[in-house]
Structures are given as C-alpha cells and as structure tokens.
Amino acid sequence: MRLEPRTDTPLALRLLAPVGAVVAALALCALLVAWTGAPVLRAYGLLFEGAVGSRFALTETLTRATPLILTGLAAAVAFRAKLWNIGAEGQLYMGALAAVVVGGGMLDLPAWALIPVVMIAGMAAGGVTLLGPAVLKVRFGVDEVVTTLLLNFVVLLLVSMLLEGALKDPMGMGWPQSAPVAEAAELPKLVERTRLHAGLAIALGLSVLLWLVDTRTIWGYENRAVGANPRAAAFAGMPVTRVMLRTALLSGGLAGLAGAAEVCGLKGYLTLDLSPGFGYSGIVVAMLAQLHPIGVVGAALFIAGIFVGADAMSRAMPVPNYIADVLVAASLLCMLVAGLLARYRLRRG
C-alpha cells in the first residue's frame, strides 16, 4: 500500500474529515466509559445535556468557548504561515498580566475608553511575547516549537513571582493573586445572572474579520503563500520576514487578548490557575477547524461542550471528568489521520 497525493480534495471530503474525526474519537473513548461500568449511551447523553441542556449549561459552554476561540484563532493564524506557535498559554498569561497592570487603577478612564485600552494592552503583551521566538526563527533559524513551548514555563514562573511579590493583593488573605481590576475595566455581561461576558462577541467578531482578511486581502494572500512555500513567495517578491513577524504579532496578540478577556470578563483578577490549558487546547481547536477562522468557532464550542459536559456527567455517573482530556486528545489524533486521508488516497502496489 502507498499514499498518493490527491490532485484536488473534494469539498465534501474536507467537511467530513473533522466530523469523522469526532465520531472516531467518541467511539474510541466509549471503550473507556464502558470500562468504568457506566452505560455508554447514557453517559454521552448526560455529557450532551450538561453542555447544552439548560440555560445555565449553555451559557457556561459559551463562556468556556470564548478563550478557546481566541487561542484557536491564534494557532490557526500562525500555523497557516507555518509558524508553529506552541506558546499560546504563555502569551495568554502575558495578556492577563498586562490587563491587571493597566486595568488595575493605572488609568482613570471611563469604561468605554478603559476597556479597549486594556484589551489592546493584552494583545500587545501577547504579541511581543511571540515576537522574540519569531525573530530567532527568521534571523537564526531557531526552531520556534522549542522556544515557544519553553517560554510558557518562563512566563508562568514570572507571573508566579509577581503574584507573590509586586502584584500581590494585600486584601487577598495571603493567597497568590493580584488586586482586582477597576470596575470600569470589567467586560459587560451578555446574559444577566450568568458568567457569559462580552468577550464572546469580541471573539466571534474577530473570527469573521480574520476570515475576511484571509480571503479578501493581500495580507491574507501573503500569509497563505508564505505558509505554502516561503522560497517561492520570496522569489515572487513577497516580504517573507515581514509576513512572519506580522503573523507572530497577530497570533500572540490573539492569545494575549484571551487572557485579558478572562481577567476582565470572568475572574476580575489574575491567579496562576486562570487557564486550565486554553493555550494548548487552542491547538486542537485550530486543527479540528482545519485552520479556518469560522471553523474555529464550531471547534471551540465542541471542545468547550466536552469539558463542561464531562463535569456534569462525572457528578451523575462513576466516570471521571478526565475523560474530557482523553476525548480532546483523541480528537486531535483522529483529526491528523483524517487530514492525511483527505490529502492522500491509498493505492495498492
């Protein structure tokens, strides 16, 4: 058997690839659910009900999906240009750190002015965090997978040091957390008496905007061309280095915005457990979406639904909520296989 590249991948096959990957992941994880002694269909039914079965469940899923959309967009933008950004987790924390510093009383502005300033500060912090590895890549050929991944731990240690020192809340009863952001910096709620905030609207708007940029502008064309073949793009006169650095700023900025939105929309202050791995889950979101900005929204809702639904399922059945992590990992692996089969066909001989 050998793999033969397809000259043209049908649209139906590209659309069915993520669906098939999700179905395969659910089928594989059904074995683990059955191993616990729980009825598989009932377990998956509870997972679905816990994700969208009530007003509370639906708003919690949308709240969980907000940072996943932004980190998924961060990964999709970078991966399309072949900039392998594995550091969205660190960029998210840098954005959250900037939001706490800028929104914690540094500026005395009304909400309509302070919120955009805080969001832009978060994006700037995340973008600058990724700019360093991008410069090392284009200037010295340093592998950005290594630098961005290791930078996550550097950022977390920096945040930990600041939360135990300069940024520690004197009213926090000794807990390692920052002082809360000003009330004017808090994102408004979209639904009363829920945690769903305006960060979701920002994420959805950016998804549409990035899709338009990717398909309707020279910037998007250059981004795709550099990702497809940087040497050919350079031969055609495209500024490859500038495109890579621009992509790094945008990708890191999106991840930083996720951190700023989590601080100003959800928690109100910074702690080390702000993110349960949104930066890494964003990679899965981008891969399930096949790097499509609009597809990122659907993939983020799926991943968020798994995490929220698994928590509800584990309270009703003897199935640990860690099954959500297995489902997400299995979805990524199945998507890689599905993507391979979408681009290649099996031939005998």
Given a contact cutoff of 8 angstroms between Cβ atoms, the answer to whether 207 and 257 are in contact is no
Residue 133 and residue 144: Cα distance in Å, rounded?
6
Structure tokens at 141: 């050929």
Q: Are 130 and 85 in contact (CB under 8 A)?
A: yes
Residues 220 and 214: their CA atoms lie apart, in Å, by 4
β-strand partners of 271:
177
Question: In which residue are the tokens 């900039």 written?
Answer: 83
pLDDT under 50 in the chain at which residues?
none
The DSSP call for residue 221 is H
pTM of the model: 0.94
Exposed, middle or buried by CB within 10 Å (0-12, 13-18, 19+), for 276?
exposed
Torsion of CA 261, 262, 268, 274, to 10 degrees: -150
Tokens at 127, concatenated: 């973008």
Closest Cα partner for 87 from 262, 255, 324, 284?
Answer: 255
List, for residues 72-96, the tens digit of each pLDDT value.
Answer: 999 999 999 999 999 999 999 999 9
- Cα 244 to Cα 226: distance, rounded to the nearest angstrom: 8
Tell me the pLDDT tens digit for each residue of 291-341: 999 999 999 999 999 999 999 899 988 889 889 999 999 998 998 888 888
Non-local CB neighbours of 42 within 8 Å, separated by 6+ positions = 317
Are residues 95 and 125 in contact, defined by beta-carbon separation less than 8 angstroms? yes
pLDDT value at position 349?
64
Average pLDDT over the chain reads 92
Question: Which pLDDT value is given to residue 260?
Answer: 97
Q: Which amino acid makes up residue 3?
A: L
Residue 317 to residue 46: CA distance in whole angstroms: 9
| C-alpha to C-alpha distance for 28 and 266, rounded to whole angstroms | 34
3-state secondary structure of 195: coil
Asked if 305 and 51 count as a contact pair (C-beta separation under 8 A), the reply is yes
Instruction: Tell which phi-psi region holds residue 141, choosing left (phi > 0), alpha (psi between -120 and 50) or beta.
Output: left
The residue ranges of every structural domain in the chain are 70-198+218-288
Q: Which structure tokens are listed for 332?
A: 């990524």
